[in-house]
């Protein structure tokens, strides 16, 4: 899917954090960064089973795009931002790291799951019509092309560009004698003591190679016997990926380890004949049979240990690797030749996350600091806003990161924890930061005698270990910690505060689209509704009772909740738009999601299009819907916006015959979200809030806004210049500027 810009097309859209693993200084083998995104929004363990009750009667075959191809196209859009010369240079390095981290997780989850299903004989033809083996070969071929582009972007463009700005990423042979001497001292003092060379011979079997670790394959010769030997040296994952040889000159740590004098330190008395870098990706997805797990925490901890030994799914090697060494690796690792990816060094460009953090503001996006939402503090001051007083006056619709998370959602929970009139706090936690003020507030509340219920989703992919840690910390503080319903992940973003006010109890609620994660709230675009509305409070009470007890309530007042009512509720509203259109009443469907894969929802959108309803889909990542097909989807447009912030909110808007209906919440249109998760959407009631969300959707879909457009053939085309060659509007910069104007600091 190469996208060449033609004179009528755009060249510059907003650069994007739009990734599964955005801003993740990522070594899964070691620790996961606090800036772990909502990975599950884009990746799911391999599952192509038909949906219960899904009926495509009357609709043509071939109407679904392949989701794996669509995901790779998404990551290509991230790569295009790295390739774009209009993107600030250190942001380009960041996008290269995001692309690499995304692809790591794609192989660990999707490719691994597909291979597992093929091996066990349970893989079936996908919704797109492709056989599993065809999908796998598509992935291998397309990812090979993208990885080659990725490496070329670094070698030929970004690294030279950084060098022109005084940030030099060099190899060992490019260092001066003084720099090499300095690094030799560093090697002896800080690196050598943690290295463990492992020999391979009849007495030493081939060592276990952990997933995503960088490794040196070293061939040495015994000068006495004349025999050659193979050894492996693992690059310690907890050390810095790039070492500063001198100010603003950085060398990969593997180059330092592989320097001739340093290898001689590791293998004294042996002749170093050759060395090569390689990196293995393994299946790192989890499988826990909850029905058989008496204690989910213990079962998950055991599975986390097993994750380290998942089967290999990809082998990256430096393209200069000797054929005999590569043959040995392929044989010992039991990996197919199609899964070997020769690349120019250095391997593992996720290490560029550290380079992107360098303090060079002129090479980054202009700094933006979110302010307090005007409904919470008309005039910002040193004193914190009284959240409860504000919510008694009106609902507050938050739009992060343009509205500060710390002075809204975080302040809401901190105020609740400190308020003696608050009796109870109920909270879901899917992902949060390692030093979370949210967790601290909940602990403070419990220690002050409040009833605190925390639903911790310990199966949040790649955050399992961190969430187990926080679950135990919360329990020790006296919080009631539960893990949801067996067989379902709890992905909804909910907070409920019960406060004594005079003779009555008032419930204050927050329903959001993003995690309670103060750090990612500065990088992810999300929405949230703060309200004292009694119906929403009653709904959250009922839902929390279902999550913590034995309630079987399935209908709510202002919520749609998966897995029971969410898909059916959305499909019913889509079908109702077709009825409105036939009757001549205002009708439209506008959707903003991370992923659009669910066949039942897509078919409902196809039928609405066939009835004449205009359908707009704003999707960040995967989209299996095929727009613009005559007789099927000619009334459907699909756009994607990637920018400095990760587009993460989910919005569903309906014309509803002239009485617009708008919902926000946690659910993407994927099988897992709608059938195997607790998800929640809340209906937005305030007319001004509905209008604001409608304007947001219209702006994102506008032809004057920079974006990617999806064609009927499944290819995405970038649009960022108008016919006169002028840049199209950048929706994220527009929103930033609107907030600055509100504070009197807008750019001229």
Task: Please report, in angstroms and rounded to a whole number, the separation of the first and last CA atoms in the chain.
Answer: 38
| Whole-Å CA distances, 568 to 139, 202, 561, 562, 675 | 33, 62, 10, 9, 11
- Mind listing the pLDDT tens digit for each residue in 110-120? 998 888 888 87
Sign of torsion over alpha carbons 399, 402, 403, 406: positive
Fold of the 388-552 domain? Endonuclease; Chain A (3.30.870)
Residue 745 tokens read as 């600091």
Asked whether 155 and 203 are in contact (CB, 8 A), the reply is: no
Domain map of the chain by residue range?
A: 57-170+346-366, 188-344, 388-552, 558-743
Q: What's residue 35's pLDDT?
A: 40
Query: For 350, which DSSP code?
Result: G
3-state helix, strand, coil in the chain (%, to 5): 40, 20, 40
- Mean of the pLDDT values across residues 188-205? 86
Confidence tier at 10 by pLDDT (50, 70, 90): very low
For 44-48, 482-486, 590-594, 673-677, which range has the lowest pLDDT when averaged over its residues? 44-48
- Cα–Cα nearest to 89, from 434, 362, 281: 362
Mean pLDDT of 183-208: 88
| pLDDT reading at 460 higher than 60 | no
Sorted by sequence, the CB contacts under 8 Å of residue 536 that are 6+ apart come out as 507, 509, 511, 529, 557, 558, 559, 682
Question: Which of 558, 612, 566, 557 shows the shortest CA–CA distance to 585?
Answer: 612
Of 353, 275, 292, 282, residue with least CA distance to 313: 282
In this predicted structure, the answer to whether residue 327 has a pLDDT above a threshold of 80 is yes
Task: Label the pairing between strands 228-234 and 242-246.
Answer: unpaired
- CA-CA distance, 374 to 397, in Å (whole number)? 10
Tokens (6 digits) for 680: 């929640």
For the chain, give the mean pLDDT: 87
Q: Residue 616 and residue 297: Cα distance in Å, rounded?
A: 42
Is 620 known as a binding-site position?
yes
* pLDDT band at residue 382 under the 50/70/90 scheme: low
Instruction: Name the one residue in this structure whose structure tokens are 């390689």.
Output: 278
- pLDDT confidence of residue 381: 54
Q: Please identify every residue annotated as catalytic.
A: 491
Looking at per-residue confidence, does 484 or 604 come out higher? 604
* Percent of the residues in the chain that have a pLDDT greater than 70, as a whole number: 85
Please report the pLDDT score of residue 456 as a whole number: 82
- In the DSSP assignment, the letter for residue 715 is -
Architecture per CATH, domain 57-170+346-366, reads as Up-down Bundle (1.20)
Instruction: Point out the least confidently predicted range of 65-74, 233-242, 595-604, 695-704.
Output: 233-242
CA distance readout (Å), 283 to 114, 278, 575: 10, 17, 40
Has 461 been labeled as part of a binding site? yes
648 is in an annotated binding site: yes
CA-based nearest residue to 580, from 615, 613, 616: 613
Closest of 566, 573, 600 to residue 673, by C-alpha: 566
Among 27, 30, 40, smallest CA distance to 459 is for 40
How far apart (Å, rounded) are the C-alpha atoms in residues 231 and 233?
7
Residue 360, both tokens: 């060079």
Structure confidence at residue 15 (pLDDT): 33
Q: Please give the average per-residue pLDDT across 119-133, as a whole number.
A: 83
CA distance 742 to 82: 32
User: Is pLDDT larger for residue 56 or for residue 373?
Assistant: 373
d(Cα 43, Cα 283) in Å, to the nearest integer? Answer: 13
Dihedral over alpha carbons 113, 114, 119, 120 (to 10 degrees): 70
Q: What integer is the mean pLDDT of 475-504?
A: 88
pLDDT band at 297 (very low <50, low <70, confident <90, very high): low
- Give the span between the Cα atoms of 455 and 469, in whole angstroms: 14
Q: Is 90 left (phi over 0), alpha (psi -120 to 50) or beta?
A: alpha
In angstroms, the CA 2 to CA 664 distance is 34
- Is the model more confident about 314 or about 380? 314
CA angle 302–307–308, rounded 5-degree value: 110
What pLDDT score does 424 carry?
A: 97
* CA separation for the pair 495, 508 (Å, rounded): 8
Six-digit token pair at 310? Answer: 């998942």
Q: May I ask the CATH class of domain 188-344?
A: alpha beta
302 band by pLDDT with thresholds 50, 70 and 90: low
Q: What is the dihedral of CA 418, 420, 424, 430, to 10 degrees?
A: 0
Beta-bridge partners for 453: 426, 480
CA dihedral 727, 732, 737, 738 (to 10 degrees): 120
Lowest mean per-residue pLDDT among 21-35, 147-161, 538-552, 638-652: 21-35
Q: Dump pLDDT digits (tens) for 669-718.
A: 999 899 989 999 999 999 999 999 999 999 999 999 999 999 999 999 99
What would the mean pLDDT of 539-558 be, rounded to a whole number?
Answer: 85
Q: Whose CA is closest to 31, among 352, 471, 469, 493?
A: 469
Whether pLDDT at 211 is above 60 = yes
Does the 558-743 domain belong in CATH 3.30.870.10?
yes
Say if residue 87's pLDDT is above 60: yes
Please report which confidence band the pLDDT of residue 156 belongs to, taking 50, 70 and 90 as the band edges.
Answer: very high
CB 721 within 8 A of CB 727: yes
- pLDDT 10s digits, 397-434: 999 999 999 999 999 999 999 999 999 999 998 876 55
Confidence of residue 6 (pLDDT cuts 50, 70, 90): very low
User: What is the model's pLDDT at position 383?
Assistant: 65
33 φ, ψ to 5°? -65, 155
Range from 204-208, 286-290, 409-413 carrying the lowest mean pLDDT:
286-290
Asked if 388-552 and 558-743 have one fold, the answer is: yes
- According to the model, what pLDDT value does residue 740 have? 87
719 annotated to a ligand binding site? no
**Between residues 340 and 16, which one has the greater pLDDT?**
340
Residue 365 CA, chain-centre distance (Å), reads 20
Cα–Cα dist 608/611, whole Å: 5
Structure-model confidence comparison of residues 97 and 473, the more confident one: 97
Mean pLDDT of 575-584: 98
Report whether pLDDT(745) > 80.
Answer: no
Task: Tell whether residue 54 is among the known ligand binding residues.
Answer: no
Q: pLDDT for 349-376, tens place per residue?
A: 999 999 999 999 999 999 999 999 999 9
Does residue 61 have a cis bond before it (omega within 30 degrees)?
no
What is the rounded average pLDDT of the residues 332-342?
A: 94
Cross-strand partners of 231: 199, 218
Q: Which residues contact 530 (CB under 8 A, 6 or more apart)?
A: 387, 391, 395, 396, 398, 408, 409, 412, 508, 509, 510
Query: Could you please report the per-residue DSSP string of 559-590?
Result: EEEETTTHHHHHHHHHHHHHHHHHTTS--EEE
The answer to whether 431 is a known ligand-binding residue is yes
């Amino acid at each position: 899917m190469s996208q060449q810009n033609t004179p009528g097309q755009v060249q510059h859209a907003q650069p994007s954090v739009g990734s599964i693993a955005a801003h993740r200084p990522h070594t899964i083998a070691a620790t996961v960064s606090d800036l772990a995104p909502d990975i599950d929004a884009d990746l799911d363990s391999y599952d192509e089973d038909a949906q219960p009750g899904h009926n495509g009667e009357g609709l043509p075959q071939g109407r679904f795009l392949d989701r794996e191809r669509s995901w790779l196209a998404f990551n290509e859009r991230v790569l295009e931002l790295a390739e774009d010369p209009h993107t600030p240079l250190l942001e380009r390095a960041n996008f290269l790291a995001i692309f690499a981290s995304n692809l790591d997780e794609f192989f660990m989850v999707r490719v691994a799951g597909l291979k597992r299903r093929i091996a066990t004989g349970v893989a079936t033809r996908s919704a797109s019509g492709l056989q599993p083996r065809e999908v796998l070969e598509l992935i291998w071929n397309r990812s090979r092309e993208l990885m080659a582009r990725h490496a070329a972007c670094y070698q030929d463009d970004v690294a030279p560009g950084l060098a022109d700005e005084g940030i030099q990423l060099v190899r060992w042979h490019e260092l001066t004698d003084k720099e090499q001497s300095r690094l030799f001292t560093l090697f002896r003092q800080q690196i050598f003591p943690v290295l463990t060379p492992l020999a391979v011979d009849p007495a030493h079997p081939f060592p276990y190679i952990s997933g995503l670790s960088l490794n040196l394959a070293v061939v040495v010769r015994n000068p006495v016997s004349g025999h050659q030997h193979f050894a492996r040296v693992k690059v310690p994952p907890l050390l810095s990926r790039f070492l500063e040889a001198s100010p603003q000159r950085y060398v990969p740590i593997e180059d330092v380890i592989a320097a001739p004098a340093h290898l001689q330190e590791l293998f004294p008395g042996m002749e170093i004949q050759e060395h090569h870098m390689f990196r293995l990706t393994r299946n790192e997805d989890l499988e826990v049979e909850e029905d058989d797990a008496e204690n989910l925490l213990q079962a998950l901890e055991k599975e986390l240990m097993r994750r380290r030994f998942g089967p290999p799914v990809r082998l990256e090697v430096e393209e200069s690797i000797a054929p005999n060494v590569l043959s040995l690796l392929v044989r010992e690792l039991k990996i197919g030749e199609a899964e070997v990816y020769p690349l120019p060094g250095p391997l593992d460009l996720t290490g560029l996350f550290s380079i992107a953090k360098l303090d060079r503001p002129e090479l980054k996006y202009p700094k933006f600091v979110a302010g307090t939402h005007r409904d919470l503090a008309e005039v910002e001051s040193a004193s914190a806003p009284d959240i409860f007083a504000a919510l008694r006056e009106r609902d507050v619709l938050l739009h992060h990161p343009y509205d500060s998370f710390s002075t809204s959602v975080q302040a809401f929970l901190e105020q609740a924890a400190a308020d003696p009139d608050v009796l109870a706090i109920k909270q879901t936690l899917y992902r949060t930061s390692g030093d979370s003020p949210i967790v601290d507030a909940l602990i403070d509340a419990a220690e002050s005698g409040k009833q605190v219920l925390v639903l911790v989703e310990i199966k949040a992919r790649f955050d399992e270990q961190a969430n187990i840690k926080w679950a135990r910390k919360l329990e020790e503080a006296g919080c009631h910690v539960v893990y949801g319903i067996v067989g379902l992940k709890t992905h909804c973003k909910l907070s409920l505060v019960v406060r004594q006010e005079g003779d009555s109890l008032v419930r204050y609620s927050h329903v959001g689209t993003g995690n309670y994660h103060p750090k990612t709230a500065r990088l992810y675009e999300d929405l949230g509704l703060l309200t004292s509305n009694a119906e929403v409070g009653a709904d959250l009470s009922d839902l929390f009772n279902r999550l913590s007890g034995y309630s079987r309530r399935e209908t709510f007042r202002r919520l749609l909740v998966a897995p029971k009512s969410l898909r059916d509720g959305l499909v019913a509203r889509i079908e109702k738009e077709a009825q409105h259109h036939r009757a001549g009443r205002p009708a439209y469907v506008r959707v903003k999601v991370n992923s659009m894969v669910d066949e039942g929802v897509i078919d409902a959108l196809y039928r609405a299009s066939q009835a004449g309803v205009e359908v707009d889909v704003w999707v960040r990542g995967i989209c299996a819907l095929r727009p613009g097909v005559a007789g099927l989807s000619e009334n459907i447009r699909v756009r994607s916006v990637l920018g400095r912030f990760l587009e993460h909110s989910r919005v569903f808007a309906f014309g509803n015959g002239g009485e617009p209906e708008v919902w926000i919440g946690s659910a993407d249109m994927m099988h897992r979200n709608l059938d195997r998760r607790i998800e929640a959407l809340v209906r937005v009631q305030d007319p001004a809030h509905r209008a604001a969300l409608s304007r947001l959707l219209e702006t994102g879909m506008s032809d004057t806004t920079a974006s990617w457009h999806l064609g009927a053939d499944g290819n995405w085309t970038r649009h960022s210049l108008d016919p006169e060659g002028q840049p199209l509007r950048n929706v994220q910069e527009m929103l930033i500027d609107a907030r600055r104007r509100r504070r009197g600091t807008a750019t001229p």
